[in-house]
């Protein structure tokens, strides 16, 4: 019996070896294990465009998708620190991977940066976070604009709103009308990161670019204590009066569903909302409208996804990293990826005619580089950003006086 | 060949060595490591720059952390109290030789087989205003019924108590029942002869005799309180706002998402204090008992 088992095992092993030999050429294809958090339907279709392009270029793609962006980053960091790094890992184009750079754990991609002339072509908020001490440490894929104002045309019609709001006051007037019509005026998911997005939208549109940068980039205590910033916080809190009682804990896509079925009027959220709207077969300009910001000077917020390439002693991995980075910046990949992802391409030289109305409007705004600002995470360490989000969500949900919120925000950004 | 005497004494210790090493390196070592990290300015990576008590100062100036501690204390008292009372009553109920004891026991114990995450999600659905319990009450004709604790700043922590008590009291019942069955039948006979009412026997005689069982249950429930994390994440994600934040979630957030392992370690060290405070009397009682 025992012997028979051993024999079977040996046979199985031999067979295994044989199959391994049969696919021998596979082993010579540069193998790239990639950690990312794109797990929803649209997202995984988008990342598949990169995987396919990489395979077509002669590589072998090993997909390690981890649900949840914090979890995915935790896995990537642990693997890198533990000496078993993946070939590439997804991060946001932000301060999230600065510690890895400073510890000397990432390969730079300067050759691609030079070839693609990133110094001049990339939006400054993205360029400035991926370039550390003169070297580029990540390949950016896309631009997400996190503070779009989406609205349902059906709800607007029902509430008797004839025209798209063009100022913050008009937005409040529209919200009043929606509320009076018995609709949920503002579809909001009461999770702290979503409250942070609403706050960034108000800061950008009420406070303007200078105040936005003084708070996020300079972390200037005087700006935070100032009257204009107090007005921003009051406007932010005023939006709370337009949400429904069921909002705490709600997911962003459930909030979007309220917009889709006409129960709610407005949602302030990133362009990933478009994935839900498209899935519900709504089209931009017909069933829903989109606003990037109020007025010709409104800041255009930029956040992006990027891939980093951890250092490795394995020559095969290094070859794979080079190949992968090249694939990721190829115009065809960038175009295919962003069309599915709903985001904007980082390169300006692509044909925009295939994009939807909202994306085209955003591209037009993005041409004006003076309007570019990063989202909070571009300027703040994850720690500072987290402390800020804690204060904002407490201020949004409790009766915290605005002066105390100002004081707490200054304290959160001090560290 | 006979083993020489001194070697014979060494063998048991040698056998215990792997376990001892696990405890010293795996438990004590990591505790000391956390303590060390908490005194540095580490972010994503351990650093050697010591900053004294700065992380602790920051921790106790942080409103979310203070609220977390407050929530944990409130939750702990209510959760342990409710579990003990409900668990004991269920055990007494089953101890009355009810028919279908096996089925009932399984039903009461069943929630414990579920993970906290599943429990949390189910209760989140049931408690969401407009869904679950509220909707059911409306359909039964109570149109004005409203139960919105889960979105209420002041009440949300009680919803976590409800969900976790629902889950854990079955286990308490099982242990209490074992304790009850361990009580000598002669005591019941004697009490019956004296004409003492049943509730009085339970309260004044049986309950004090079950003290070791209760101590074990207390210890189990206390550790469940300190490590409370997944139920909160699944039910409320600490919200609305920061109203249902707990220390373990604060630590996890800073350990991973916020890349501040020093602050997270400081939180973990602070969290160790109540655990030690709970264990110390227990260990002391055990050691006295051992000597006696």
Mean pLDDT, chain A, whole residue set: 89
Q: Which of A77, A191, A393 sits opposite B44 (nearest CB)?
A: A77
Domains along chain A with CATH numbers: 31-144+303-349 (3.40.190.10), 148-302+375-414 (3.40.190.10)
Residues of chain A numbered 239-258 and touching chain B (CB < 8 Å)? 245-249
Contact assignment for B151 to A77 by CB distance below 8 Å: no
Tell if the CB–CB gap between A248 and B150 is shorter than 8 Å.
yes
Range scoring the smallest mean pLDDT among A93-102, A319-328, B109-118, B159-168: B109-118
Q: What is the pLDDT of residue B282?
A: 76
pLDDT tens digits along A297-314: 999 999 999 999 999 888
User: What is the arrangement of strands in the sheet containing A31-36, beginning at the earlier edge strand?
Assistant: A60-65, A31-36, A88-92, A305-308, A138-140
Q: Which domains does chain B have, with CATH numbers?
A: 64-290 (1.10.3720.10)
What is the reported pLDDT for A194? Answer: 95
Question: For residue range A80-91, what is the model confidence (pLDDT) as tens digits?
Answer: 988 899 999 999
Q: Does B236 touch chain A (CB under 8 A)?
A: yes
- CB–CB of A192 and B44 under 8 A? no
B63 touches chain A (CB under 8 A): yes
User: Do the chains contact at B129 and A381, CB–CB below 8 Å?
Assistant: no
| B234-284 tens-digit pLDDT | 999 898 999 999 999 999 999 988 989 999 999 999 998 878 887 787 778
Per-residue pLDDT, A16: 42
Residues of A in contact with B65 (CB under 8 A): none
Q: What is the pLDDT of residue B2?
A: 56
How is residue A170 written in tokens? 């008009």
Which of the residue ranges A151-160, A385-394, B9-18 would you say has the lowest mean pLDDT?
A: B9-18
Calculate mean pLDDT across residues B93-98.
87
Q: How far apart are the first and last CA of chain B?
A: 40
Closest CA to B148 of B165, B131, B127: B127
Structure tokens at A241: 């009066």
Distance from CA of A95 to the nearest CA of B (A): 11
Confidence of residue A13 (pLDDT cuts 50, 70, 90): very low
* Cα separations in angstroms, B3 against A57, A249, B6, B11, B259: 69, 68, 9, 10, 56
Q: What is the pLDDT of residue A20?
A: 41
- Mapped onto helix, strand or coil, the DSSP state of residue A322 is helix
Position A9 pLDDT exceeds 50: no
Q: Are B45 and A103 a contacting pair at CB < 8 A?
A: yes
Which secondary structure element, helix H or strand E, spans residue A383, and what is its range? helix A382-397
pLDDT at residue A352 in the model:
73
Whether residue A415 is predicted with pLDDT greater than 70 in this model: the reply is no
Residues of B in contact with A188 (CB under 8 A): none
Q: Do B151 and A383 touch (CB under 8 A)?
A: no
Residue of B nearest to A414 (CA): B58
The answer, yes or no, to whether residue A12 has pLDDT greater than 50, is no
What confidence category does residue A29 fall into, taking pLDDT thresholds of 50, 70 and 90?
A: confident
Residue B165, chain A, CB below 8 Å: the answer is no
Give chain B positions within 8 Å (CB) of A376.
none
> A83-107: b or e for each residue (b if 16 or more CB lie within 10 Å)?
eebbbbbbbbbbbbbbbbbeeebbb
Task: Give every CB contact of residue B84 below 8 A, 6+ residues apart in sequence.
Answer: B172, B214, B217, B218, B221
User: What pLDDT is attached to residue B3?
Assistant: 54
Give yes or no for residue A256 having a pLDDT over 80: yes
**A92 interfacial to chain B (CB closer than 8 Å):** no
pLDDT digits (tens, 9 = 90+) for A182-230: 999 999 999 999 999 999 999 999 999 999 999 999 999 999 999 999 9
pLDDT band at residue A292 under the 50/70/90 scheme: very high
Instruction: Say if A386 is an interface residue toward chain B (CB within 8 Å).
Output: yes
Mark out the alpha helices in A241-299 (DSSP H runs). Answer: 252-260, 273-279
Q: Which region, left, alpha or beta, applies to residue B272 given φ > 0 means left and ψ of -120 to 50 means alpha?
A: alpha
* Residue A5 confidence (pLDDT) above 60: no
Instruction: Report residue A114's pLDDT band, with 50, 70 and 90 as the boundaries.
Output: very high
Query: Which residue bears the tokens 């070791």?
Result: B212
The reply to whether residue A96 touches residue B130, judged by beta carbons under 8 angstroms, is no
* Per-residue pLDDT band at B73 (split at 50, 70, 90): very high
A376 part of contact set with chain B, CB < 8 Å: no
Amino acid B33: pLDDT: 94
Please report the pLDDT score of residue A27 as a whole number.
54
Whether residue B240 is preceded by a cis peptide bond, meaning omega within 30 degrees of 0, is: yes
Which of A99, A191, A246 is nearest residue B129 as measured by Cβ atoms? A246
Q: Which of B237, B242, B263 minimises the CB distance to A249?
A: B237
Interface check A42 vs B, CB under 8 A:
no
**Structure tokens that stand for B215 in this block:** 């101590």
**Chain B interface disruption, residue of A245, A247, A250, A394, most B CBs within 10 A:** A394
C-alpha to C-alpha distance for A342 and A272, rounded to whole angstroms: 6
The mean pLDDT value for A284-297 works out to 92
Separation in Å, CA of A353 to nearest CA in chain B: 38
Q: Tens of pLDDT along B31-70?
A: 999 999 999 999 888 888 999 999 999 999 999 999 999 9
Residues in chain B with CB shorter than 8 Å from the CB of A246 are 128-130, 151
Give the pLDDT band of residue B291 (cuts 50, 70, 90).
low
Predicted pLDDT at A10: 46
Q: Do A394 and B63 touch (CB under 8 A)?
A: yes
Interface contacts A/B by beta carbons within 8 Å: 90
Residue with tokens 């989406």: A150
- Answer whether B257 sits within 8 Å of A70, measured CB to CB: yes
In angstroms, what separates the C-alpha of A412 from chain B's closest C-alpha? 9
Mean pLDDT calculated for residue range B113-129: 88
Whether A396 contacts A242, CB under 8 Å: no
pLDDT of residue A22: 41
Residue A7: pLDDT band with limits 50, 70, 90: very low
pTM of the model: 0.87
In Å, how far is B129's CA from the nearest CA of chain A?
6
Reply yes or no on whether the pLDDT at A25 is more than 60. Answer: no
Alpha helices in B128-210 (DSSP H): 132-139, 156-181, 185-194, 198-201, 207-209
Determine the 3-state secondary structure of B115 from DSSP: coil
On whether any CB of chain B is under 8 Å from the CB of A142, the answer is no
Report the alpha-carbon distance of residue B209 to residue B183 in Å, rounded: 8
Residue-averaged pLDDT of chain B: 89
B58 to chain A: which residues are within 8 Å by CB?
A: 415
The whole-angstrom distance between residue A309's C-alpha and the CA centroid of its chain comes to 19
Closest CB to B242 among A70, A99, A394? A394
Taking CA atoms, B125 is separated from A115, A187, B110, in Å, by 53, 19, 19
């Amino acid at each position: 019996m025992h012997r028979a088992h051993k024999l079977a095992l040996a046979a199985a092993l031999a067979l295994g070896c044989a199959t391994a030999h049969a696919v021998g050429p596979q082993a010579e294809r540069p193998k790239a294990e990639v950690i990312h958090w794109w797990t929803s339907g649209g997202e995984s279709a988008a990342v598949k465009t990169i995987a396919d392009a990489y395979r077509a270029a002669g590589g072998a793609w090993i997909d390690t998708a981890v649900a949840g962006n914090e979890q995915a980053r935790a896995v990537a960091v642990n693997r890198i620190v533990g000496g078993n790094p993946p070939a590439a890992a997804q991060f946001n184009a932000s301060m999230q991977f600065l510690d890895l750079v400073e510890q000397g754990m990432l390969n730079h991609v300067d050759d691609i940066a030079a070839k693609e002339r990133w110094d001049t072509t990339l939006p400054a908020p993205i360029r400035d976070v991926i370039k550390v001490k003169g070297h580029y440490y990540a390949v950016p894929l896309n631009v997400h604009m996190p503070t779009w104002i989406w609205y349902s045309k059906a709800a607007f019609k029902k509430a008797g709103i004839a025209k798209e709001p063009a100022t913050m006051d008009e937005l409040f007037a529209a919200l009043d009308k929606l509320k009076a019509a018995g609709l949920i005026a503002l579809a909001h998911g009461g999770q702290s990161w979503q409250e942070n997005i609403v706050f960034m939208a108000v800061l950008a549109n009420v406070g303007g670019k200078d105040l936005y940068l003084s708070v996020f980039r300079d972390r200037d205590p005087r700006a935070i204590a100032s009257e204009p910033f107090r007005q921003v916080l009051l406007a932010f809190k005023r939006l709370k009066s337009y949400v429904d009682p069921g909002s705490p804990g709600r997911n962003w896509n459930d909030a979007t569903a309220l917009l889709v079925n006409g129960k709610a009027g407005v949602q302030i959220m990133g362009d990933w909302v478009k994935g839900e709207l498209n899935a519900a077969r709504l089209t931009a300009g017909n069933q829903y409208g989109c606003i990037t910001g109020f007025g010709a000077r409104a800041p255009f917020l930029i956040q992006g996804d990027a891939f980093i390439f951890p250092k490795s002693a394995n020559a095969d991995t290094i070859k794979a990293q080079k190949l992968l980075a090249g694939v990721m910046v190829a115009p065809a990949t960038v175009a295919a990826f962003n069309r599915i992802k709903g985001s904007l391409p980082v390169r300006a030289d692509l044909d925009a005619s295939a994009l939807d109305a909202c994306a085209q409007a955003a591209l037009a705004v993005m041409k004006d580089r003076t309007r570019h600002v990063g989202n909070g995470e571009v300027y703040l360490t994850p720690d500072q950003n987290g402390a800020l989000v804690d204060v904002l969500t407490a201020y949004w949900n409790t009766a915290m006086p605005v002066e105390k919120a100002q004081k707490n925000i200054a304290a959160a950004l001090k560290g | 060949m006979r083993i020489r005497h001194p070697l014979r004494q060494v063998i048991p210790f040698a056998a215990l060595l792997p376990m001892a090493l696990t405890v010293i390196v795996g438990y004590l070592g990591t505790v000391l490591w956390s303590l060390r990290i908490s005194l540095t300015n580490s972010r994503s990576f351990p650093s050697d720059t010591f900053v004294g008590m700065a992380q602790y100062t920051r921790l106790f100036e942080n409103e979310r952390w203070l609220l977390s501690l407050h929530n944990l204390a409130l939750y702990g008292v209510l959760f342990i109290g409710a579990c003990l009372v409900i668990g004991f009553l269920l055990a007494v109920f089953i101890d009355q030789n009810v028919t279908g004891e096996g089925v009932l026991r399984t039903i009461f114990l069943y929630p414990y087989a579920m993970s906290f995450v599943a429990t949390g999600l189910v209760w989140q659905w049931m408690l969401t205003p407009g869904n679950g319990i509220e909707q059911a009450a409306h359909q039964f004709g109570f149109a004005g019924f409203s139960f919105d604790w889960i979105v209420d700043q002041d009440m949300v922590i009680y919803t976590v108590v409800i969900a976790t008590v629902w889950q854990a009291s079955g286990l308490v019942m099982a242990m209490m029942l074992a304790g009850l069955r361990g009580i000598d039948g002669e005591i019941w006979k004697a009490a019956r002869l004296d004409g003492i009412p049943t509730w009085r026997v339970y309260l004044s005689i049986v309950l004090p005799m079950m003290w070791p069982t209760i101590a074990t249950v207390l210890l189990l429930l206390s550790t469940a309180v300190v490590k409370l994390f997944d139920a909160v994440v699944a039910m409320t994600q600490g919200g609305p706002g920061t109203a249902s934040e707990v220390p373990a979630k604060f630590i996890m957030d800073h350990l991973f998402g916020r890349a501040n392992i020093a602050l997270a370690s400081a939180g973990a060290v602070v969290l160790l204090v109540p655990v030690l405070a709970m264990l110390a009397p227990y260990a002391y009682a055990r050691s006295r008992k051992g000597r006696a």
